[in-house]
Amino acid sequence: MIKVENLKKRFGKLQVLHGVSFDTEDGKCTAIMGPNASGKTTTIKSILGLVVPDEGTITVNGMDIRKGFQYRNLIGYMPQIPTFPENITPRELINLTIKLRTYEKNYSQELIELFEIEEHLDKPFSALSGGTRQKVNAVLAFMFDVPILILDEPTVGLDPVSSRKLKNLIKERKQKGVDVIITSHIVSEIEQLADDMVFLLEGQVIFEGPVKEAIEQTQGEDLEDAIAKLIQRQQAA
């Protein structure tokens, strides 16, 4: 479970987050949504400790993230566009990640078979397509039995078959009680996967709650319509 309270962040003159607060629950998938430059990536990076907030607190399974780095052992992270060093191979990267974690067991072999990337494991990243890199990215995020998954645009660059496999994987983990946080611009994907939604606009949360409630509250036809109405309502206010 992640609890974000009154998160504020400024980059130079630009105030990116204006007191963002929300909670996520175990066994549920929470979508962090919002237009470009609404603060989604800064929020995710703050949870991961990559961005240092100016104000506010973040707790991950009850641990204040400012008190150490060990909490990151609980998180599997899939960055949006992975930029792995060109001269190293997926196998080396998988092995490095295993060494940096403290899990007894990892599911890398099962995931390598699932995404059919065995033949690419010893090629340097420079020789791999965007889709294959994204599959390696998925293996790195899902290969441990972590209680929290943070997935930033996870299906970008994947073919429909692999995208479906990844979505099934997300659903499986959710059923096992994993707290999944996802960002995506593909509304249909969010409708399929997410239970809850946190909608950010210009660094502020303008909606937090179940996806169904967003549709009901705005009397939208579907999630896409609900999002459009949420933005209009905020701009009118």
- Looking at residues 33 to 72 of the shown chain, list those that interact with other proteins (rule: CB under 8 A): 45, 48-52, 69-72
* Nearer to other proteins (CB atom), residue 180 or residue 223: 180
Q: Verify binding: residue 142, other proteins, rule CB under 8 A.
A: no
Does position 143 bind other proteins by CB under 8 A? Answer: no
- Strand, helix or coil at 35? coil
Least distance to other proteins, CB of residue 144, Å: 8
Q: C-beta of 220: minimal distance to other proteins in Å?
A: 35
Among 2, 7, 33, 75, binds other proteins (CB under 8 A): 75
Please tell me whether residue 237 binds other proteins under the rule CB under 8 A: no
d(CA 201, CA 191) in angstroms, rounded, equals 19
Which amino acid makes up residue 83?
T
Long-range contacts of 103-107 (CB under 8 A, 24+ apart): 103/73, 103/144, 103/145, 105/145, 106/143, 106/144, 107/142, 107/143, 107/144, 107/145
By CB under 8 A, tell whether 104 contacts other proteins. yes
Separation of alpha carbons 80 and 89, rounded Å: 19
Amino acid (one-letter) located at 89: T
Orientation angle between helical segments 211-218 and 223-236, nearest 10 degrees: 60
| Residue 230: CB minimum distance to other proteins, A | 29
Of the residues 63, 96, 161, 228, which one makes contact with other proteins according to CB under 8 A? 96
Restricted to residues 156-195, the positions that interact with other proteins (CB under 8 A) are none
* Nearer to other proteins (CB atom), residue 72 or residue 165: 72
Give the residue, chosen from 13, 36, 105, 119, that forms a contact with other proteins under the rule CB under 8 A: 105
Binding range to other proteins, per CB under 8 A, among 92-100, 107-115, 180-188, 229-237: 92-100
Strand partners for 151: 78, 182
CB of 193 to other proteins, least distance (A): 21
Dist CA 137 CA 130 (whole Å): 10
Nearest distance from C-beta of residue 223 to other proteins, angstroms: 29
- Residue 156, judged by CB atoms within 10 A of its CB (0-12, 13-18, 19+), counts as middle
Report residue 85: phi and psi, to 5°.
Answer: -55, 135
* Shortest Å distance, C-beta 27 to other proteins: 15
Task: In whole angstroms, give the CA distance from residue 121 to residue 125.
Answer: 9
Binding site for other proteins (CB under 8 A): 11, 45, 48-52, 69-73, 75, 77, 79, 82-85, 87-88, 92, 96-97, 99-105, 145-147
